[in-house]
């Protein structure tokens, strides 16, 4: 038996009750972020699905019409599908449903942000590297018990600082506790992102 609905995924059992939900960027796969997950928390379980959309052969979590222009209907459908998978995987692997931390990079961070806004019951915390505003929900969720760390690059050609600030404001309006950190970097992840996110996670 596998979780239903299913995604191709990697699962690594940890020895604490925390689970990191690892969400890769465009062109990544379920194996990509396993080393990052281990670095962020050596004891957590790791759940790492592969996005189901293919863009020129590159896996993603939802369709886009152009760089930074999202297919909102597909995004909503894919967000719910991913949230249902996480809930099923939590049951299947006997994980603590209230200890799931989303860790997303780029496209993965965008679907994580979408899940926070549309399915707030899935994650109690999130680390979002190079995230954008995925959508504006009709009704803001109550994220008052959710802690979010956002890592942005101050020379990111894909996510300008104004976009990061819009996301921070949106999540704060929903009541989330948001920490934002600008690193001297472009869109790619740096050691500084990882060590700062790891320190933040330790304090959660």
Phi, psi of 127 (to 5 degrees): -115, 115
Residue 199 CB, nearest approach to ligand MLT (Å): 25
Residue 109 CB, nearest approach to ligand MLT (Å): 8
Q: Which residues have a catalytic role annotated?
A: 106, 156, 187
Q: Is the dihedral of CA 151, 157, 161, 165 positive or negative?
A: negative
Distance between CA 86 and CA 89 in Å, rounded? 5
Phi, psi of 49 (to 5 degrees): -85, 160
DSSP state of 168: H
x-marked contacts with ligand MLT along 8-47 as a string, rule CB under 6 A: -----------------xx---------------------
Residue with tokens 């330790």: 202
Compute CA distances 130 → 69, 112, 159, whole Å.
15, 11, 7
Out of 45, 48, 79, 107, the only residue in the binding site for ligand MLT (CB under 6 A) is 107
Distance between CA 126 and CA 104 in Å, rounded? 8
Out of 19, 45, 106, 164, the only residue in the binding site for ligand MLT (CB under 6 A) is 106
Asked whether position 68 contacts ligand MLT by CB under 6 A, the answer is: yes
**By rule CB under 6 A, what count of residues binds ligand MLT?**
9
x-marked contacts with ligand MLT along 125-164 as a string, rule CB under 6 A: ---------------------------------x------
Binding residues for ligand MLT (CB under 6 A): 25-26, 64, 67-68, 106-107, 110, 158
């Amino acid at each position: 038996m596998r979780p239903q609905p299913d995604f191709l995924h990697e699962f690594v059992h940890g020895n604490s009750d925390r689970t990191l939900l690892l969400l890769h960027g465009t062109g990544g796969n379920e194996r990509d972020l396993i080393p990052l997950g281990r670095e962020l928390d050596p004891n957590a379980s790791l759940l790492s699905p592969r996005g189901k959309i293919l863009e020129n052969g590159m896996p993603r979590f939802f369709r886009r019409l152009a760089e930074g222009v999202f297919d909102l209907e597909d995004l909503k459908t894919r967000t719910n599908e991913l949230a249902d998978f996480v809930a099923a995987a939590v049951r299947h692997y006997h994980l603590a449903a209230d200890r799931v931390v989303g860790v997303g990079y780029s496209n993965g961070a965008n679907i994580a942000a979408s899940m926070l806004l549309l399915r707030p019951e899935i994650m109690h915390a999130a680390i979002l590297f190079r995230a954008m505003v995925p959508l504006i929900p009709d009704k803001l969720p109550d994220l008052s018990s959710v802690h979010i760390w956002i890592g942005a690059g101050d020379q990111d050609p894909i996510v300008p600082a104004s976009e990061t600030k819009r996301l921070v404001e949106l999540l704060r309006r929903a009541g989330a506790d948001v920490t934002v950190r600008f690193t001297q970097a472009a869109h790619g992840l740096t050691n500084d992102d990882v060590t700062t996110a790891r320190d933040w996670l330790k304090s959660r």
